[in-house]
Amino acid sequence: MIRTSESDHQHRRTRTVAPAGAQSVDVATKPQAMTSLDASAVSRLLREFGQRTALRPGNPYRAKAYARAADNLLALSLPLEEVIAQDRLHDIPGVGDAIAGIIERLHRTGTHPALESMRKEVPQGVLELLTIPGLRPDKVLKLHKELGVSSLVELEDAVRAGRLRKIKGLGAAFETKILQGLEIRRKAEGQRHLHRAAELLKTAERHLKGAGLGVVRVTPAGEFRRGCELVRGLSLVVEVKILTDGPQTLAASDQLTVHLTDARRYGITLLLATGSQTHVELLRRLAAEKSMALSNDGLRRRGKSLPAATEEQIYAALGLPFIPPELREGTNEIARALAGTLPALVTDEDIRGILHAHTDRSDGADTLEAMAEATRSRGYEYFGVADHSKSAHYAGGLTVDEINEQHAEIDRLNAKYGDRFLIFKGIESDILPDGSLDYPDNVLATFDFVVASVHGRFNLDRKSQTERILSAVANPYTTILGHMTGRQLLRRPGYEIDLEKVLAACARHGVAVEINANPWRLDLDWRWHEKAIALGCLMSINPDAHSTSEINLTHWGVEMARKGGVPRQKVLNSLSLSAFRKHLKSRRTFVRPGSV
């Protein structure tokens, strides 16, 4: 899915892994005691522990907690031995007393009595089936018990032979889902969502800082720093006070690479560790054209090293402005930098208001007041609530009465806020199968804005799905088109639509295109942003928050917009409160006076 990830991997492999010996290397490569297991091995067993727990009746959250802890173990930047000796297992997110006990036992003895007894229940191969997106444990058990399926290969054979549809409760749609899931799984191998990568990198950073290496600063690099929507290898650049043998690359675990460097070479180490490989290769060529050479120590001209403490210095020596990491995919960024036409990318600070958020009236966790207050306390100027509409029964969609109640509550809160902050009355209206919105016009007219989204009937053919969305875009009440393709990363592909046609319609009707900031969605895909802007679209970076903490997801949407080359001027919610009100007014002259 990410073109550059493989090349990064190769890039890393070709660089030398540092020999043990330097003070800092000791910690990461110190041999484990013979009898105990390292973090990767314990992580594998803990994952198995979680998978086997998921296949038994009981609390599904427990199974998830094991899986999460197993994942977090992989990002340890210190040997597990040491973490246990320092009694710091509890520092690992998701590790409480119970899991810490299991980890210690697995580490010490290589197994656990509970694991051994669960191993008698189902064969190992069945656990693979749990890694297929969308395949729940109860269905896995059914497949195993009723069809004798015990591995991925057997499952695929059974699907292709049409054996599943003979079982009650499974069917043709289920078969399609499995085939899709198998395909996603193949592509997803080793990839993780941005927010998970962020958590793992934070844990690794914390451990490095606590390891007594003389760490001065730590910066995440690689795909994460480039804002790739899925991250395969994790990478950290670490400045240490004393570096005996020059910059070193350590494979701290299966998943994490640590690049040790010093202040003098921080820029070059960060540049190389960030990639992409294509970008770095193009820089090398540019350097050669200018009679310079780019090495692990930085640029050299006529045998003399040039300053390499910051990336800016290196770009400047090449006659380039700083190129933001998100743009370093080796497409046209260097040509644009040379021509002075790099876009000034939107930043987190440019976002002035939060639109598209849910409250406990639909499927959110927090009250309207709590959501508004959380938005205000983060320094934003306005909050646009957008709960689910009435057809979304499964998500507590709002009836007309509930809408009236919510609007009265908004009026009350707004009176309290005065000029300092404003709540806008919005709704996330389902786009019904025929393309209409979910309420009659007289109800739609009571909203300040409408996010129109598809939540069902994903399997329409491309032409009908496109027509359906086009008619929602043409509806004068639609303000924003929500998560345009419905994709969920590592879970399901988007539905089939003619994206270009829909984007052109959004531009024509002045409907903003959502960049849904939920790391599972990140929809519209960044690869389409430039096109959208060229067609004349405005983007809206929305967290689709279902709790106060999810307001922070906005950051991932900003990352995507940056990756897609979106400047502040093209972002609807970078408008100030007064400009945003004007925008709504100009679009909706028929909105009742005083409501905006």
State the residues that interact with Zn ion by CB under 5 A.
428, 453, 544
CB 244 within 8 A of CB 15: no
Q: Which is nearer to Zn ion, 112 or 388 (CB)?
A: 388
**Nearest 5°: phi and psi at 110?**
80, 0
Q: Which is nearer to Zn ion, 239 or 438 (CB)?
A: 438
**Rounded to an integer, what distance in angstroms lies between the CA atom of residue 473 and that of residue 82?**
58
Least Å distance, CB 391 to Zn ion, is 12
Cβ neighbours, 10 Å, residue 341: 9
**Rounded to an integer, what distance in angstroms lies between the CA atom of residue 84 and that of residue 103?**
9
Least Å distance, CB 395 to Zn ion, is 8
Q: Which is nearer to Zn ion, 229 or 430 (CB)?
A: 430
Least Å distance, CB 173 to Zn ion, is 22
Q: Which is nearer to Zn ion, 96 or 456 (CB)?
A: 456
DSSP secondary structure letters along 341-370: ----B--GGG--EEEEE--TTTT-SS-HHH
Least Å distance, CB 358 to Zn ion, is 6
Q: Which residues contact 486 (CB under 8 A, 6 or more apart)?
A: 454, 458, 492, 494, 495, 523
Q: Which is nearer to Zn ion, 205 or 544 (CB)?
A: 544
CB 81 within 8 A of CB 36: yes
Least Å distance, CB 192 to Zn ion, is 23
Q: Which residues contact 555 (CB under 8 A, 6 or more apart)?
A: 348, 517
Least Å distance, CB 482 to Zn ion, is 5
The C-alpha angle 69, 23, 300, rounded to 5 degrees, equals 105
Least Å distance, CB 185 to Zn ion, is 25
Nearest to 244 by CA among 27, 79, 20, 77: 20
Q: Which is nearer to Zn ion, 137 or 433 (CB)?
A: 433
Least Å distance, CB 469 to Zn ion, is 13
Q: Which is nearer to Zn ion, 51 or 453 (CB)?
A: 453
DSSP secondary structure letters along 478-503: --EE-STT--BTTTBPPPP--HHHHH
State the helix-helix crossing angle for 499-509 and 462-474, rounded to 10 degrees: 10
**Rounded to an integer, what distance in angstroms lies between the CA atom of residue 366 and that of residue 554?**
17
Q: Which is nearer to Zn ion, 112 or 546 (CB)?
A: 546
